[in-house]
Structure 1
Amino acid sequence: MRIATFNINGIRAAQRRGFEQWLREREPDVVALQEMRAPAAAIPPDVFGPYHLSYDEGVIPGRNGVAILTRRAPAAVRTWTGSALVRSPDEIHTHAVQLDPVTLARGLREFATEGRYIEVDLADSPITVASLYLPKGGLPAHLQKPGRMREAPDGGARYDRKMRFLDAFARQLTRSRRDARARGRELLLMGDLNIAHTRFDVRNWRRSNQAEGFLPEERAWFDSLLSPRTLVDVVRTTYPDVDGPYSWWSWLGQSFANDTGWRIDYHLATPALARSAAAAGTDREPSADRRISDHAAVVVDYDLSAAGLV
């Protein structure tokens, strides 16, 4: 089973840049998408071809939005608001449907309507797949230096908000993982986590120790998610102790040409599913002018039969 995660930085822009061709050529069975950035009525017709769409667009115009594409209609869909756009390839409706309610962890309700998380139970495999778009955040107040920041200093407000999200989401993720296990399913969390976990995940890591996305406290939080008994970073297991493969490069300058990137897009899988990974990598385009997004898709082929998951 080929499963991909892709922050597309706007479905309408991604379509113009070749998303549909990527989808046809790579033929993933499941795709987690982040930053759809479109209300349901503005999703380009037929952009997802033969796939079933599950989508939480959120309430912030032109921002966020997470989706999951599947070959077959999912057995169940869950979001933090209890509703989502769920439609088959031959449907054009844009109304959300009510879903089974989800009990949210303490502190998560602040973020529930922002279109940051959706999960589905696959119909043809005992796997729950989730798509996450984690807040970018900012610098803590003591690291903010006016004149040396692209954004105006905010006294650490964006940093504090991200840390609240991390604290609440860790509790929610534990609940999701345990709930999946109770249903006899593996859990696969994918998406843009906006954190580079180790020095192998940032090209200029020495200069990034005081940059949002690579702060010690963010990396420590990431550490807390992973263990041989809970969740495994599938791509890093495939490429231990090597730089990259990166999944994000700035649009500015020569970052892409020089491969000055960050690895911030992940497959985090429960152990049995992680062990079934047969191949993993990043779909980095051959040249800057062929980029679909500032991110690249991260694609893993899972041999479910070898792991007894079919």
Structure 2
Amino acid sequence: MQMTTDHASVDAAAPLTPDLVTPDSFSVATFNVNGIRAARRRGFDRWLSSRAPDVVALQELRCPASEVGEFPGYYASFDVGSIPGRNGVAVLTKAPPAAVRTWVTHPPRSRGLAEFASHGRYLEVDLADRPVTVACLYLPKGGLPAHLQSPGSLREPPDGGLKHARKQRFLAAFARELDRNRLAALRDGREFLLVGDLNIAHTHYDVTNWRAARTMDGFLPEDREWFGSILGARKLVDVVRRSQGDQPGPLTWWSWAGASFAKNVGWRVDHQLATPGLAREVKDAVVDKEASPQERLSDHAPLVVTYAASPLPPHTTTRDG
């Protein structure tokens, strides 16, 4: 079974077998693959087969729908977006999803997100075997505000802060949309889990050289303030930080250049943010960093969190998919 539109697809792979369902826990991985075709050439399928998470959220597919491919043992839901070679998100599940929503099939309601709706940045899946909605986000990378830009100090020519303003528009609008979606899931009897590459490091524990990073996109005061605003005891919990405590790392991104990877000089920009009920069920959180630069699958590494959670109760509902 395969259903396809210009932007979104649900692909059914191998039939689900009973031994694929763990009754008392499930694992969720989020991974910016920086191009699924390139990641597969580097060994992504070996990692997927070996690690075998129950749910896998992918960002930056960077290919047309016809070239996403199949993932044996998984049902793939994806939105590749409308910009050739850019963006694209997917969620892989071992059981067929109960519902799938993209910003193409379910346009965002918050003013300010319309310009991003066809770009392949957001995908929501209601799990069929757990009372959980998993939302996969690839948040736009921004730029510096105009007052921090100077010729010769940037990789790209100064733009007067246009990319910075674009990201801030997205952040403001997405915060409202996120509240709606989180509350909608809770009304349906589901926990809500936002995962993906948020292109923001929240605290100084999340960046190796945090003092220098204070004037860099992704660690600007306004970025960090926004990140803090979507967290809270009644909102979302950064499950990795709660699990790891106030200590450096774990990092999820390292530059391709130089010895950053070998020296573990990088950022934590890949996140799993859960509603409090699900956050209390975290059993383990790890980053699958490769052993050597030659083995890297992407400039990011997979973040894998294991949750203890009961199977789907009979009263749980789902929004139309």
> Given the two structures, how large is their TM-score scaled by the length of structure 1?
0.91
The match for 2:54 is 29
In the TM superposition, residue 305 of structure 1 has moved relative to its aligned partner by 3.5
1:253 is paired with a residue whose SS is coil
> SS state of the match for residue 76, structure 2?
strand
**Is structure 2 residue 15 aligned with structure 1 residue 10?**
no
Distance 1:152 1:139, change over 3 A: same
Q: Equivalents in 2 of 1:119, 1:258: separation in Å?
A: 36
CA contact (8 A) 1:276 1:307 kept: no
Moved >4 Å (runs of 4+): 306-310
2:219 equivalent to 1:196: no
Q: Kindly provide the amino acid, as one letter, of the partner of residue 57 in structure 2.
A: A
| 1:76 corresponding residue in structure 2 | 99
TM score, norm. by length of structure 2: 0.88
2:81 paired residue among 34, 58, 63: 58
The correspondence for 1:265, drawn from 248, 266, 270, is 270
**Residues 248, 308 of structure 1: alpha-carbon distance in 2 compared, 3 angstrom cutoff:** farther
Amino-acid identity (%) = 60
Residue 307 of structure 1 deviates from its aligned partner by: 12
For residues 127 and 6 of structure 1, what CA distance do their matches in structure 2 show?
A: 19
Query: Taking structure 1 as reference, are residues 203 and 307 closer, same or farther at Cα in structure 2, changes over 3 Å only?
Result: farther
Unaligned segments of structure 1, at least 5 residues? 83-100
How far 1:229 moved relative to its partner? Answer: 1.1
Secondary structure of the structure 2 residue equivalent to 1:113: coil
Partner secondary structure for residue 238 of structure 1: helix
Match of 1:170 among 175, 178, 193: 175
Shift of 1:103: 4.7
| Paired residues for 1:128-147 under 5 Å | 128-147=133-152
The alignment's C-alpha RMSD in Å is 1.6
The 5 Å alignment of 1:1-310 reads 1-44=26-69, 46=70, 48-82=71-105, 101-305=106-310
For the Cα contact (< 8 Å) 2:205–2:248, is it kept in 1?
Answer: yes
Structure 2 portions without partners, runs of 5+: 1-25, 317-321
What code does the residue aligned with 2:121 have? R
What is the CA–CA distance in structure 2 between the aligned matches of 1:308 and 1:243, rounded to whole Å? Answer: 38
- Listed one character per residue, the Cα deviations across residues 208-245 of structure 1 (whole Å, up to 9, x for unaligned) are 11000000010000010101111000000011111110
Please state how far the C-alpha of 1:102 moved relative to its aligned partner.
4.5
Report if the CA contact (8 A) 1:276-1:306 is conserved.
no
